């Protein structure tokens, strides 16, 4: 079994594990059934990829998205790993290549969509292949009431039993209920070793804003971040096209994406987003799940997401490289009404509808928060934190007021009108606006008429929005969206509880730009040149730019300015295979023409054996004709020098065995070589 620390550096180019990764890797490596809940961008894939390389046999990876599988296979191959995918998107040649790699015993990771498990051929193939582990990505898809349920995930438990191998399940979002369902369906109810690695993504700036000309709000947000890759999520297909056109007219590179597009057109957008720097995609929530793009700098929601899990997953597509990223979520009363109605008119049983309303309440609680948003978000997932300093409410605290009397007045107006009217009519009653409808219904004669003149009409709009957000009132789909009181409001109405609300939060201010520049002004031209080289190499190979190197690696190159391949090997994300493939090309951008190294020496780049090899080569050159310079020329091949540098023998007999030198070369080089090795 290989050493995971060594492979982490050699293959992936990482100097060490991220927090929480090593314990999971060791559990999976030991063959224990494992469930790991890790934040998006926390390095989930490494936790099954690295053990797969250390273990004998094939690791089967069940993943729900073809684009994501192809992405990971491409990245693994670029790092020198034998990986393949069996998907409906394969060409015949790709499928034949995967079968050949299985037959030859070369394949280490085999990616499959869950739907493929339905075919008897797939089960037969996996029985014949040397499968020693199953990894399940996006394990929350097994939850029948979750937002991403995939029926074929229910077959994975059967596969585990049939192959009798350990299973490691991974997900970024799973509440307690979903975790229990994962254990039941994937592990037959037997508790796996579970790792809950936290949900915090401290590099992501959180911000919400009440809708006020949302198109202009999105355009202002994008304008302040021009040139950065971003995603705008909308609730409807039509809005994706309108907003994308508006962004293009404002000078941005932007396109739209939704489920109603032809498959080939959607694929073109995905490829553009993967390969172009600074492209904005305006999309429905169908977009992004299959794209492992590490350098998305911002995510904006033009409409309220469906749930707090959906929100968390969608903003999680930003800043996967660990660098600063930003979010903005717009919402308003219409969003709340839409989401409530979608739940009430759905086909789920009553208990599930109640749970969905609870999830929506959690999201609205985050939207209407009066203090640090990250504390509210993490609290939903059962975690506590101190104020984060990286959200809009930490940047600019909101003003709150005792709204108990205002809420009681609003509830009274709702009840006295029979719970048959929406916020607009109720506000007219409260502010004493005797419209034709108010007079026609006789509502100008109610005791509540004009009792709310202390607040403006927009301020009352904010009160009603927050009452909906706190689930004190709900739109009734059977009464054309009229507001009705919930049980949660009764203590306030009876004077048994008080409530504080935010002052009207509609503002033209857009959250500050948290991601100003990725490097200093001095290093910016070099970073641009490195990105241009990356783009050229990626286009030549037909792969996404980040498969060559992610932004984080180029930023480190621009800041450290490595002068040699040894220096380059120390840059995060530069493994042995990528050093061989791209090292010289990027060194040439940084320093001009790069030194040419023999392949044997290049394999030692960045390792302690490298300088030893160099010193042995110098000694060999000095003693080429002996100490007096008159002897017969003798030399060793670069491959033998590499073996000696790696093995570091300490005696002449060991040196002879490692390098197969023979008497003449031992006499010429032996003592001098041992001196070099001793000094090292």
User: pLDDT tens digit string along 281-291?
Assistant: 999 876 655 56
Claim: this prediction has a pTM higher than 0.85: no
Q: CATH number, domain at 460? A: 1.10.10.10
- Residue for token digits 């797969």? 52
**147 to 143, 292, 316, 365, 505: CA distances (angstroms):** 8, 20, 16, 20, 30
| All residues at 6 or more sequence positions from 237 whose CB lies less than 8 Å from its CB, including other chains | 258, 259, 260, 284
Find out whether 174 and 182 touch, Cβ atoms under 8 Å: yes
| All residues at 6 or more sequence positions from 546 whose CB lies less than 8 Å from its CB, including other chains | 274, 293, 294, 295
The answer to whether residues 119 and 17 belong to one domain is yes
The answer to whether residues 380 and 247 belong to one domain is yes
Residue 199: alpha-carbon gap to chain centroid: 12
Query: Please, what is the Cα angle at 267 between 261 and 268, to 5 degrees?
Result: 95
Closest CA to 462 of 395, 384, 410: 410
- Report the share of the chain in percent with pLDDT over 90: 38
Residue 508 has pLDDT above 60, yes or no: no
The answer to whether residues 384 and 426 belong to one domain is no
Q: Tokens representing 83?
A: 């990986």
The answer to whether residues 448 and 561 belong to one domain is no
The answer to whether residues 182 and 295 belong to one domain is no
Q: CATH number, domain at 175? A: 3.40.50.300
E strand or H helix at 495, and its extent?
none
- Report the share of the chain in percent with pLDDT over 70: 95
464 lies in a domain?
yes
* Residues 156-210: tens digit of each pLDDT: 888 888 889 999 999 877 677 788 888 888 888 889 999 987 788 899 999 999 9
Determine the 3-state secondary structure of 642 from DSSP: helix
336 lies in a domain?
no
Residue 602 has pLDDT above 80, yes or no: no
Say how far apart CA 255 and CA 570 lie, in whole Å: 38
The answer to whether residues 176 and 101 belong to one domain is yes
The answer to whether residues 270 and 303 belong to one domain is yes
* Residues 369-399: tens digit of each pLDDT: 999 999 999 988 888 889 999 999 999 888 8
Closest CA to 305 of 233, 353, 356, 371: 233
pLDDT: which is higher, 604 or 232: 232
Say how many domains are in the chain.
5
Please give the mean pLDDT across all residues of the chain. Answer: 87
Rounded to 5 degrees, φ, ψ at 58 are -105, 140
Residue 287: alpha-carbon gap to chain centroid: 13
The answer to whether residues 183 and 266 belong to one domain is no
Q: What is the DSSP letter of 481?
A: T
Last residue of a domain, one of 134, 166, 196: 196
614 lies in a domain?
yes
Domain of residue 345 covers: 204-331+341-390
Say how far apart CA 86 and CA 220 lie, in whole Å: 43
Last residue of a domain, one of 595, 617, 643: 595
Q: CATH number, domain at 534? A: 1.10.150.80
Say how far apart CA 537 and CA 554 lie, in whole Å: 14
Helix, strand, coil % (nearest 5) of the chain? 50, 10, 40
Q: Which residues of 270-307 are buried (b: 16+ CB within 10 A; e: fewer)?
A: beebbbebebbbbbbbbbbbbbbbbbbbbbbbbbbbbb
Rounded to 5 degrees, φ, ψ at 620 are -60, -45
């Amino acid at each position: 079994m290989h050493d995971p620390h060594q492979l982490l550096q050699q293959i992936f180019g990482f100097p060490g594990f991220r927090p929480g990764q090593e314990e999971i890797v060791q559990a999976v490596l030991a063959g224990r059934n494992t469930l790991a809940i890790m934040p998006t961008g926390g390095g989930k894939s490494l936790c099954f990829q690295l053990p797969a390389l250390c273990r004998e046999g094939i690791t089967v990876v069940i993943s729900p998205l073809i684009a994501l599988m192809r992405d990971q296979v491409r990245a693994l191959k670029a790092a020198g790993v034998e990986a393949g995918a069996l998907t409906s998107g394969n060409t015949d040649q790709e499928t034949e290549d995967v079968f050949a790699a299985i037959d030859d015993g070369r394949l280490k990771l085999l990616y499959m969509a869950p739907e493929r498990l339905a075919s008897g051929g797939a089960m037969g193939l996996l029985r014949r292949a040397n499968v020693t582990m199953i990894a399940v990505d996006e394990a929350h898809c097994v939850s029948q009431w979750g937002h991403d349920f995939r029926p074929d995930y229910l077959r994975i438990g059967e596969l585990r039993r049939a192959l009798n191998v350990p299973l490691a399940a991974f997900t970024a979002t799973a509440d307690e209920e979903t975790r229990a369902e994962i254990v039941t369906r994937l592990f037959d109810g037997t508790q796996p070793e579970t790792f809950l690695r936290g949900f915090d993504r401290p590099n992501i700036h959180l911000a919400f804003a009440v809708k006020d000309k949302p198109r202009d709000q999105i355009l202002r947000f994008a304008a302040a971040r021009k040139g950065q890759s971003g995603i705008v999520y909308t609730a409807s297909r039509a809005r994706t096209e309108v907003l994308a056109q508006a962004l293009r007219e404002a000078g941005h590179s932007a396109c739209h994406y939704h489920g109603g597009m032809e498959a080939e057109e959607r694929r073109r957008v995905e490829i553009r987003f993967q390969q172009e720097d600074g492209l904005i995609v305006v999309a429905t929530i169908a977009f992004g799940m299959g794209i492992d793009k590490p350098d998305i700098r911002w995510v904006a929601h033009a409409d309220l997401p469906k749930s707090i899990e959906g929100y968390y997953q969608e903003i999680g597509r930003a800043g996967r490289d660990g660098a600063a990223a930003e979010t903005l979520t717009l919402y308003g009363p219409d969003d709340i009404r839409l989401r409530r109605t979608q739940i009430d008119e759905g086909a789920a049983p009553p208990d599930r509808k109640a749970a969905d309303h609870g999830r929506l309440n959690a999201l609205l609680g985050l939207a209407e928060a009066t203090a640090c948003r990250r504390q509210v978000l993490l609290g939903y997932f059962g975690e506590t934190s101190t104020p984060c300093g990286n959200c809009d409410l930490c940047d600019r605290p909101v003003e709150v007021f005792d709204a108990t009397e205002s809420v009681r007045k609003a509830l009274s107006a709702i009840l006295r009108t029979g719970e048959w009217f929406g916020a607009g009519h109720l506000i007219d009653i409260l502010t004493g606006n005797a419209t034709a409808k108010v007079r026609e219904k006789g509502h100008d004669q109610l005791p509540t008429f004009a009792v709310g003149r202390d607040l403006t009409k927009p301020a009352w709009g904010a009160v009603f929005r927050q009452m909906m957000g706190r689930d004190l009132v709900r739109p009734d789909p059977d009464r054309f969206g009229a507001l009705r009181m919930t049980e949660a409001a009764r203590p306030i109405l009876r004077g048994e509880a008080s409530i504080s609300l935010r002052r009207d939060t509609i503002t033209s201010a857009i959250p500050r730009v948290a991601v100003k520049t990725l490097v200093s002004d001095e290093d910016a031209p070099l970073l641009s040149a490195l990105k241009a080289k990356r783009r050229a190499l990626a286009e030549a190979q037909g792969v996404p730019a980040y498969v060559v190197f992610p932004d984080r690696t180029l930023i480190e190159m621009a800041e450290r300015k490595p002068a040699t391949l040894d220096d380059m090997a120390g840059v995060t994300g530069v493994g042995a295979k990528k050093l061989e493939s791209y090292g010289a090309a990027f060194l040439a951008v940084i320093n001009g023409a790069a030194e040419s190294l023999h392949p044997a020496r290049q394999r030692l780049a960045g390792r302690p054996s490298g300088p030893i090899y160099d010193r042995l080569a110098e000694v060999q050159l000095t003693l080429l004709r002996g100490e007096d310079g008159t002897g017969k020329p003798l030399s060793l091949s670069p491959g033998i020098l590499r073996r000696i540098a790696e093995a570091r023998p300490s005696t002449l007999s060991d040196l002879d065995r490692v390098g197969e030198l023979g008497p003449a070369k031992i006499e010429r080089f032996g003592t001098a070589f041992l001196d070099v090795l001793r000094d090292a």
